[in-house]
């Protein structure tokens, strides 16, 4: 993720110039002892990793715990990262492993969200945007999130990374360890599983779903940095 309104501004970085460095240079500096610069990497990738974890865990509080532990795992194993792959791909795999392990160890049964009211769905179907539509933006996002949550995990992960996060087919495949054709098939099926009425309205809404807003981003970053200082 590039830094945007859903994360802290570049002024929050420990080194303003460092925020413009590529991942490889930042990794080298962190390995050399500039641990504070790990914050730049976290803020840069927080949005994608949050969405990845959210596709598996589906619990907002637990997602933050997953991210925190995943970042600590990444930091302690940073010397094992090989530049042959992108850092985002490596981090995505770590998050998937942590989120999957967390889910397996939990005895809780995920709550099943009921369908939204027909009136709310009718609002989505309206062909003419109005000021009222802007007022309902948050509700629309919640409807998108509920629809995605209803998908089986295998399809939800692909949909989250491809349509919500905007990754390419190849990037999604690398992150999930899947071939391009499998990614395309799962994405097609995921879209088909979502009700037609909601699917038709996803375009202008979906990019705003599952935002990792600044306060939560700051909270995860501060906890990870505090843990790093204790290492």
pLDDT value at residue 63: 93
Nearest Cα to Cα of residue 229 among 11, 17, 13, 38? 38
Domain(s) labelled CATH 1.10.1740.10 in the chain stretch across 11-109+212-230
Nearest Cα to Cα of residue 152 among 183, 96, 190? 190
Domain(s) labelled CATH 1.10.10.10 in the chain stretch across 118-206
- Cα–Cα distance, 180 to 185 (Å, whole number): 9
- In terms of phi and psi (left: phi > 0; alpha: psi -120 to 50; beta: otherwise), the region of 58 is left
99 C-beta neighbours (distance < 10 Å), count: 27
- Residue 162 burial (C-beta neighbours within 10 Å; 0-12, 13-18, 19+): buried
DSSP string, 42-89: HHHHHHHHHHHHHHHH--HHHHHHHHHHHHHHHHHTGGG--TTS-HHH
pLDDT value at residue 104: 86
pLDDT value at residue 162: 93
- In terms of phi and psi (left: phi > 0; alpha: psi -120 to 50; beta: otherwise), the region of 144 is alpha
- Successive 10-residue mean pLDDT values, the chain, 231 residues: 38 62 94 94 94 90 94 96 89 95 70 46 50 58 79 92 92 94 94 68 62 84 92 80
pLDDT value at residue 137: 66
- Cα–Cα distance, 128 to 157 (Å, whole number): 32
- For residues 87 and 27, the answer to whether their CB atoms sit within 8 Å is yes
3-class DSSP assignment, residue 93: helix
The two structure tokens encoding residue 137: 């933006």
CB-based burial, 21-31: b 16+ in 10 Å, e otherwise: bebeebbebbe
Alpha helices in the chain (DSSP H): 23-31, 38-57, 60-76, 87-105, 118-125, 131-135, 137-149, 153-159, 169-176, 180-193, 196-199, 202-206, 214-230
CATH code of the domain occupying 118-206: 1.10.10.10
pLDDT value at residue 60: 85
CB neighbours of 63 closer than 8 A, spacing ≥ 6? 50, 53, 54, 57, 99
pTM: 0.67
CATH code of the domain occupying 11-109+212-230: 1.10.1740.10
């Amino acid at each position: 993720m590039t830094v945007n309104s859903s994360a802290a501004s570049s002024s929050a970085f420990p080194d303003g110039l460092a925020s413009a460095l590529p991942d490889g240079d930042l990794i080298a500096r962190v390995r050399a002892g500039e641990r504070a610069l790990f914050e730049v990497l976290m803020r840069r990738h927080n949005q994608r990793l949050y969405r990845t974890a959210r596709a598996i865990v589906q619990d907002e509080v637990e997602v933050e715990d997953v991210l925190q532990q995943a970042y600590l795992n990444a930091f302690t194993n940073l010397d094992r990262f090989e530049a042959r792959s992108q850092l985002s791909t490596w981090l995505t795999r770590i998050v998937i492993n942590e989120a999957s392990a967390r889910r397996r160890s939990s005895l809780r049964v995920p709550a099943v969200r009921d369908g939204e009211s027909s009136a709310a769905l009718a609002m989505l179907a309206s062909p003419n945007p109005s000021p009222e539509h802007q007022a309902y933006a948050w509700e629309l996002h919640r409807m998108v999130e509920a629809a995605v949550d209803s998908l089986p995990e295998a399809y939800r992960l692909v949909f989250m990374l491809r349509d919500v996060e905007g990754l390419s087919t190849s990037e999604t495949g690398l992150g999930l360890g899947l071939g391009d054709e499998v990614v395309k098939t799962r994405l097609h099926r995921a879209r088909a599983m979502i009700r037609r009425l909601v699917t038709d309205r996803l375009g202008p809404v979906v990019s705003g779903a599952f935002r990792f807003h600044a306060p939560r981003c700051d909270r995860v970053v501060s906890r990870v940095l505090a843990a790093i200082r204790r290492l």
